[in-house]
């Protein structure tokens, strides 16, 4: 069977994190040329580049202050010049902080929204213009079960992640005329990433009600992402797909 993403060029935000790393690895395994952004973990980004290059993949890492319009526009131009036109955009980067609602300050709220909501907007706006010109492309947004279920989670984080669903649906409708697909993957509790900060009580509750009975692995999310951005999923559009073990 041929590789799912052979000849495709993908850009992944937050590639140095656990889920982002898994996504980059699976995309590369399936034949894609991979560009990814990272915020401050240069060591992890460089290690991922080395790892993928050793396996024969074409990959390049770029620092990015997510939420900065000027940096995002500059990066989109740089990637197109140095790597090529993007076929696949994956809005993966996101942050959280564990705070009860009464202690959330305006600055806390703005910080989460700046990265988790404004960030995907700016990145998508920058890269989608080339997709529109070429009349092809695929966008995949990462949500969270925290924004879709009645759970004891930080309110500002849940709000930011639920916004990804509306962003996905409205964007998919508008971009359909340009042959651009837009979908959203909603992971459940994972073994790594932002889930590291989940208290034991909430972790046990998730496993109790999850039909598979355990947290997921980042690679299990990455496998779904790779399929959805491939041509094998050409009839899947404007969907919110859960990778949560049946929670």
DSSP readout, 105-120?
A: -HHHHHHHHIIIIIHH
Look at the chain and report how many structural domains it folds into. Answer: 1
Q: Is residue 3 part of a domain?
A: no
* CB within 8 Å of 34: residues ≥ 6 apart: 10, 11, 12, 15, 24, 27, 28, 52, 57, 58, 59, 60
Computed from CA positions of residues 114, 59, 190, 167, in that sequence, does the dihedral angle turn out positive or negative?
A: positive
pLDDT per position in the chain (247 positions), as tens? Answer: 689 999 999 999 999 999 999 999 999 999 999 999 999 999 999 999 999 999 999 999 999 999 999 999 999 999 999 999 999 999 999 999 999 999 999 999 999 999 999 999 999 999 999 999 999 999 999 999 999 998 889 999 999 999 999 999 999 999 999 999 999 999 999 998 877 778 888 889 899 999 999 999 999 999 999 999 999 999 999 999 999 999 9
- Note whether residue 89 is domain-resident: yes
Backbone angles phi, psi at 11, to 5 degrees: -120, 125
Looking up residue 216, the CATH number of its domain turns out to be: 3.40.50.720
In this prediction, residue 217 carries a pLDDT of 97
User: At a CB cut-off of 8 Å and minimum separation 6, what does 232 contact?
Assistant: 4
Residue 1: its pLDDT value, please? Answer: 61
Q: Catalytic positions, please?
A: 157
Residue 158 resides in a domain: yes
**In this structure, is residue 144 part of a structural domain?**
yes
First to last CA, the chain: 33
Q: Say how far apart CA 78 and CA 63 lie, in whole Å.
A: 12
Whether residue 208 is contained in a domain is answered as: yes
Determine the pLDDT at residue 169.
98
**Residues of the domain holding 169:** 9-243
**Domain-embedded: residue 4:** no
């Amino acid at each position: 069977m041929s590789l799912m993403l052979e000849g495709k060029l993908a850009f992944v935000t937050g590639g140095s994190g656990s889920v982002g790393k898994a996504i980059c690895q699976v995309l590369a395994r399936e034949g894609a040329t991979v560009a990814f952004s990272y915020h401050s973990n240069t060591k992890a980004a460089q290690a991922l580049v080395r790892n993928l290059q050793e396996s024969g993949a074409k990959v390049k890492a770029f620092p990015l202050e997510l939420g900065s319009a000027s940096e995002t526009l500059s990066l989109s131009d740089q990637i197109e010049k140095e790597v090529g036109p993007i076929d696949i955009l994956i809005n993966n980067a996101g942050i959280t902080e564990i705070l009860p609602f009464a202690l959330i300050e305006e600055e806390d709220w703005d910080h989460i929204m700046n990265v988790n909501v404004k960030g995907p907007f700016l990145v998508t706006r920058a890269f989608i213009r080339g997709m529109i010109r070429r009349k092809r492309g695929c966008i995949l947004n990462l949500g969270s079960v925290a924004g879709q279920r009645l759970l004891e989670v930080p309110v500002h984080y849940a709000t930011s992640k639920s916004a990804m669903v509306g962003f996905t649906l409205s964007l998919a409708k508008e971009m359909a005329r340009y042959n651009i697909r837009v979908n959203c993957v909603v992971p459940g509790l994972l073994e790594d990433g932002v889930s590291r900060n989940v208290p034991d009580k909430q972790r046990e509750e998730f496993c109790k009600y999850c039909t598979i009975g355990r947290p997921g692995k980042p690679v299990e999310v990455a496998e779904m992402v790779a399929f959805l951005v491939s041509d094998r999923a050409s009839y899947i559009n404007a969907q919110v797909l859960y990778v949560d073990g049946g929670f």
